[in-house]
Amino acid sequence: MLQDLFTPSVQHALDLAGIFVFAISGALLAVRKNFDVFGIAVLAEVTALGGGLFRDLVIGAVPPAAFTDLGYFLTPLVAAALVFFLHPQVERIQTGVNVFDAAGLGLFGVTGTTKAYEYGLGLTASAALGLATAVGGGVLRDMIANEVPSLVRWDRDLYAVPAMVGACMAALFIQYDMLNVLTSAIAVVTTFAIRLLALRFHWRAPRAWNRRSTAVEIDE
């Protein structure tokens, strides 16, 4: 199904673009944490490939694409090198990186859902795995960097919710046999728009009703 939407070369280019921007975010966090060059490379690789690797292992697509396509492995290293030498300049274009990261979030959520369905998972499981594809690398990144994952922090703008919306839209399009280039693009753009609006207006998920805790999260 996925191969019917995009040619292999276009799909490969989209994957590499998403991998690159996710790797940039991982490498930037490594610099902020004062990691050495090896740590920067590791965090870039994990952030970029973690979600897709988890998805492929769950659905039995082995060996995972990250280990069979050299471009998947080398792209995060290019991003890590860029950040290593030019991180002040990269920091200054953080808004641009966030835009591309939002695009990658939408793309990986939709393609992850579609690939999971192709391997025989049900629609609900496929959408859940699409979400994991989109956000899994970020969770691993934060854990390695000894941070509470942004995915579950109340003081972070919505991240998982936009990816969940896109993955669920893809699952619904599959259910009604409507998945094509146009509807896939709609799901990706919807995820992208929600994420950008969340960044712009600082939308956050609600916390427990009538909670008693007064704990405050402090950014580093």
Cis peptide, bond prior to residue 63, ω within 30 of zero? yes
- Residue-wise pLDDT for 13-57, tens only, equals 878 888 998 898 889 889 888 999 999 999 999 999 999 999 999
Residue 52 identity: G
CB atoms within 10 A of CB 82: 17
- Identify the pLDDT of residue 136: 95
Residue 127 identity: A
Tokens of 141: 């990144």
Q: Rg of the chain's alpha carbons, rounded to an integer?
A: 17
Distances (CA, A) of 215 to 211, 212, 219: 11, 9, 13
Return all residues near 59 (Cβ < 8 A) that are at least 6 apart. 115, 116, 119, 120, 121, 129
- Identify the pLDDT of residue 11: 75
How far apart are alpha carbons 168 and 123 in whole angstroms?
9
DSSP H helices in the chain? 2-5, 8-32, 37-59, 65-68, 70-92, 94-118, 123-144, 160-175, 181-201
Residue 15 identity: D
- Identify the pLDDT of residue 8: 74
- Identify the pLDDT of residue 87: 79
CB atoms within 10 A of CB 158: 19
CB 166 within 8 A of CB 191: yes
Pick out the chain residues at pLDDT < 70.
1-7, 91, 93, 211-220
- Identify the pLDDT of residue 131: 97
Chain-centroid distance of CA 32 in Å reads 20
- Identify the pLDDT of residue 4: 59
How far apart are alpha carbons 192 and 196 in whole angstroms?
6
- Identify the pLDDT of residue 1: 56
Residue 148 identity: V
CB 141 within 8 A of CB 42: no
- Map out the domains of the chain as residue ranges: 2-201
CB 150 within 8 A of CB 198: no
